[in-house]
Amino acid sequence: MNIELHAGGLRRDERRERLVLLGLSAPALLLVGVTMIAPVAWLFGLSFLSDTGEWSLEHYRRMIEQPSYGRTFVTTFKVSLLTTAICIGAGYPLAYLLSQLPRRAANLCMIAVLLPFWTSLLVRTYAWLVLLQRRGLINDWGMRLGWWDEPLALVHNLTGTLIGMVHIMLPFLVLPLLNAMRAIDADLLKAAANLGASPARAFRSVFLPLSLPGLAAGTLIVFILCLGFYVTPAVLGGGKVIMVSNHIANDIELFFNWGAASALGAVLLVLTMLLLWCATKLLRFEKLFGGAH
């Protein structure tokens, strides 16, 4: 038999086997395709149709014209930016200390970071409600200790939403940041000290710049996840904090306006994808979520 013919046959066999192997992913692909990709694509198309079924940009135009949509976007960005900023303020020092502590002490503290991470979102939202409400524990203690006389409005507003969201997002910042910080070569800091840098100077000129890629990745992922929040603003915001997700849900639940909800969803999706694309430029996708799930 001709050798080349034989090789061709083998190649065909191999190709067939690879296709069969690829076929193993078909059931999973079918599931995700039918329950998610097709419906979301359908909604995307729906956002470009008018109520009478013609192609139009009316849902997008309404988004610009109606002030309620503008307010929603402003709220969403404000809440997301504030949450991200507070997370950096609280998370960077924590991650820094954890990266410096001996491994055993750091692991013990990591339990504290991971515990809320794994606890149901609703459980934590409920806990904050209990702590922050008018007759809640914080107001109770604060007044008993004489720190303030009137119950503070800590929940069912922006404050409560921010507290709840920071609590949820903080681990998402600390984990990638800590990974980046642990990868920094300690000898560099010794060298800086050896060359006469004060501890503050060594931190500022050596440690901080080297930790920035990790910080940027953590910041982006926190910001992206914040944009899609629904439960926390719905419960701790008490109807006063309407973010994009809440607006979408309202459009469906109250007004059955699929077009408007789809258009808003399309904007949110495009925004998320753009930011995520920036994030993958900074860090590989799996790493971004690897610590998260």
**Among residues 55 and 118, whose Cβ is nearest to other proteins?**
118
How near is the Cβ of 2 to other proteins at its closest, in Å? 25
Smaller CB separation from other proteins, 5 or 28 = 28
* Beta carbons of 282 and 220 less than 8 angstroms apart: yes
- Least Cβ distance, residue 253 to other proteins (angstroms): 9
**Is the Cβ of residue 6 or residue 18 nearer to other proteins in the bound state?**
18
Which residues are within 8 A (CB) of 291 and not within 5 positions of it... i.e. 6 or more apart?
A: 175, 176, 179
Nearest CA among 208, 168, 183 for reference residue 292: 168
- Identity of the residue, 11 or 190, whose beta carbon is nearer to other proteins in the bound complex: 190
Provide the H-helix boundaries in 133-157.
137-144
User: Long-range pairs for 199-205 at CB < 8 Å and ≥24 separation?
Assistant: none
**Do you know the residue count of the chain?**
293
Written as one letter, the residue type at 167 is: H
| Nearest approach, Cβ of residue 267 and other proteins (Å) | 10
Nearer to other proteins, 52 or 120 (CB): 120
Report, in Å, the least distance between residue 216 CB and other proteins: 19
In angstroms, give the least distance from the CB of 1 to other proteins: 22
Token digits for 178? 């800590």
